[in-house]
Structure 1
């Protein structure tokens, strides 16, 4: 199959950028499965396993840009592009504006689909080779996300102060007078992989309806349990074998106290069986084939 992936990013990204990494993982996995991949992205994009075609942010008419040989276009950022080829669109966030979505819209989880009146979804997947698996944990918990209350940064900090454990904050800066709370800013590459692998657990006490949450599978593939809340896709990803779904502050405290009961092997297994880039690509291909044959999902 000849597949064009379209996004308005310069790829790859070095640090923060879950959606951007998803595009790269998908492109590489599709190519590894034997498909011809065209990556329509901003100037400066590099992808060894795909043919890069430069586009501008203002390019919404893709006819004339997409090669004639392409079988299907997968829109990964802008749903209202003009394209005559069969196409699908993946909604990466929440459609809070209520804008009209592409008729062939894929979502990132079952919860994500249901909340938008849809039913078709493909879980995100990652390349396990980009992460470090470790069963030996250091003496800290990790918060790795945007510094925002809807991501639960204040809850993570309060837990650390109330319970006296060491907390590493990555993803931005948070002013704290506690010696046990350390901010390292935005991280990527080997530094990020080491932080994930060494943490006793990932703290992800979100307050919003998370469509998926790449950082959750990044932690799990590293052998690191996840402590989170029952919002969005979390109950689909975090099972009792790999972490804790907490419905109150007291339950969060209990989870911290019991995190050593989680087997790192189970955490990694959860990702290897459900959320690798190869699995994501194969699931996307099923929908691509359906749209090529019938015109709709």
Structure 2
């Protein structure tokens, strides 16, 4: 089976610090190569992979502001589709734009929908519904107007996360600094509980950071660490008492939540989007609606069995399980595509 893996070019594959879509692409690509599949990764030229790499964009555009985003996106996507005949399947992780090329080639296109940035992009997905193939990353993120081949939860490399069986002494916020992700709410939990809070992640909304986050950073109770790489992330997650994830939007998945639980660290989350599918309330974390409820729930988190939290992640969110799921999806897409061509 010859697979073209179309990655985003915002960040490197694998990401140096931030880049959840790129992280999933890398883990899946490497897992498929280990299984003996012929995989060609379309990513930036600095990508690291054991697959065949084809790159037209020299660097991730989020790391080099001199790159014109639309120019390099067009060059990147067109490179895949101009080579479409060389592949049995194109696996698109680049959102909606590659769908507009799909009717020009005979190779089937499978798109993992990593979430809907806006309702405004739905017309593209609706147009190619039934002509291409969609995978959802959670049941909560399935759109009623679209048909899906499957729901495939993201997987993580469990070996990259170390189980710590004893609770840490600080709360952790890990993610992009944006109103959607609830950074300010995490600060409120820390202030009301008296516990220290460490904040890590890229600043995506600078006005929000300046107004709602920066005034509380004192370097002692509230610390901002900036973006963190894989090794720092493992230490931070494992050393935390809990990950505070009081999101203000319907999150499609939430890799940091799974990564925290892989270290045995419980999660304090709002039950929005995929959270009820990922966090087992009362066993791997606690689901709450308000800051007050979050503060009240903190003592319960320290009583949870961190080894059991890790075991839960190993059973549901491993890279190996993700690879297996996608192998089944690939075969189903190829079978459907052959049947469609024969009709």
Residue 137 in structure 1 maps to residue 153 in structure 2:
no
CA deviations 1:216-245 (Å, max 9, x no partner) are 111011111000001000000000210011
2:31 to 29, 36, 47: 29
Long gaps (5+) in structure 1:
none
CA deviations 1:136-155 (Å, max 9, x no partner) are 33310100011112111111
Q: Counterpart in 2 of 1:99?
A: 123
Task: Give the total of aligned pairs.
Answer: 295
1:95–1:116 CA contact under 8 A, matched in 2: no
1:91–1:106 CA contact under 8 A, matched in 2: yes
CA distance in 1, matches of 2:217, 2:117: 38
How far off its partner does 1:278 sit?
A: 1.2
Residue 64 in structure 1 maps to residue 74 in structure 2:
no
Q: Counterpart in 1 of 2:54?
A: 53
What aligned pairs does 1:167-182 form with structure 2 within 5 A after superposition? Answer: 167-172=197-202, 174-175=213-214, 176-178=216-218, 179-182=220-223
1:30–1:278 CA contact under 8 A, matched in 2: no
Q: Counterpart in 1 of 2:157?
A: 127
CA deviations 1:41-89 (Å, max 9, x no partner) are 12222202x1111244213333432462x22110011442344212200
1:63–1:84 CA contact under 8 A, matched in 2: no
What aligned pairs does 1:1-297 form with structure 2 within 5 A after superposition? Answer: 1-9=1-9, 10-48=12-50, 50-56=51-57, 57-59=73-75, 60-61=77-78, 62-66=80-84, 68=86, 70-77=87-94, 78-80=97-99, 81-82=101-102, 83-96=105-118, 97=120, 98-101=122-125, 102-103=128-129, 104-114=133-143, 117-119=146-148, 120-172=150-202, 174-175=213-214, 176-178=216-218, 179-240=220-281, 241-295=283-337
CA distance in 1, matches of 2:233, 2:217: 24
SS of the residue corresponding to residue 302 of structure 2 reads helix
Select between 179-188 and 80-89 the one with higher mean Cα deviation.
80-89
How far off its partner does 1:116 sit?
A: 5.7
2:176–2:201 CA contact under 8 A, matched in 1: yes
Long gaps (5+) in structure 2:
58-72, 204-212
Q: Which has the higher helix share?
A: 2
Q: Counterpart in 1 of 2:63?
A: none
How far off its partner does 1:269 sit?
A: 1.2
How far off its partner does 1:293 sit?
A: 0.9
Q: CA RMSD in A?
A: 2.0
1:172–1:184 CA contact under 8 A, matched in 2: no
Select between 133-142 and 157-166 the one with higher mean Cα deviation.
133-142
TM-score (norm 2): 0.81
